[in-house]
Amino acid sequence: MTEFWDQLFKEQQEMWGFEPAQSTRLTNDFFIAHNVKNVLIPGIGYGRNARIFMENGMTVTGIEISQTAIDLAHKHFGNDLMIHQGSVTEMPFDDKLYDGIYSYALIQLLDKNARKKFIQDCFNQLSDNGHMVFATVTKQAPLYGQGVCIGRDRYEMAPGLTMFFYDQETIQDEFGQAGLCEVTEVADIYPFYLIKCKK
């Protein structure tokens, strides 16, 4: 998967621009309301969704698999943004606890075992009373059912790119033991769920 994402960033650079996603704006407001000061963003990419948190006084640490994306992030943020290189499936990369963890459009790219580990690893790095928010695609997205079905609600969209589509049942199943406290629907690039958990 490393090669897939590195090639994508090499070809398309800052493909999503620098405006934060709608899910990120809502998460930023939520983090401000809960006095979050330090945020971990697994799958930070080139930092598009980090900027709004930093502009609101939060310290951001990222995890990113693509060296190309990390280089782009450092071009725009310099040393203000700490990024661990590696896959989120290899978390943790430090022993720090964060009072906010934000994952945007990442968890649906993982298989069931990797999703379970990822949720638990994020929960383990959350400080007491901390919040983690996952923005993920729903089964209402037009992409649902496209590509080759490789499991329940999971499709291979292109070689090297698989996607899992959530519904309320799978959210409860996968996040129910990780402090699940709220699920809202968001009109983002696709219909998304914003899944909020508290430790």
Contacts of 192 (CB under 8 A, 6+ apart): 23, 105, 135, 136, 137, 138, 185, 186
Structurally, the chain folds into a number of domains equal to 1
CATH code, domain carrying 52: 3.40.50.150
- pLDDT at residue 50 is higher than 50: yes
Output the pLDDT for position 7.
45
Closest CA to 106 of 135, 145, 132: 135
Output the pLDDT for position 134.
98
- pLDDT at residue 10 is higher than 50: no
pLDDT single digits (tens) 151-192 = 999 999 888 889 999 999 999 999 999 999 999 999 988 899
Strand order in the sheet with 148-151: 148-151, 154-158, 161-164
pTM of the predicted structure, to 2 decimals: 0.89
C-alpha span between 120 and 122 (Å, rounded): 5
Both tokens of 94, joined, read 């430090």
Output the pLDDT for position 16.
55
Give the confidence band of 17 by pLDDT, cuts at 50, 70, 90. Answer: low
Sign of the CA dihedral running 21, 61, 181, 154: positive
The whole domain housing 47 covers 2-198
C-alpha span between 28 and 18 (Å, rounded): 15
pLDDT single digits (tens) 64-98 = 998 888 988 888 888 888 999 999 999 999 999 99
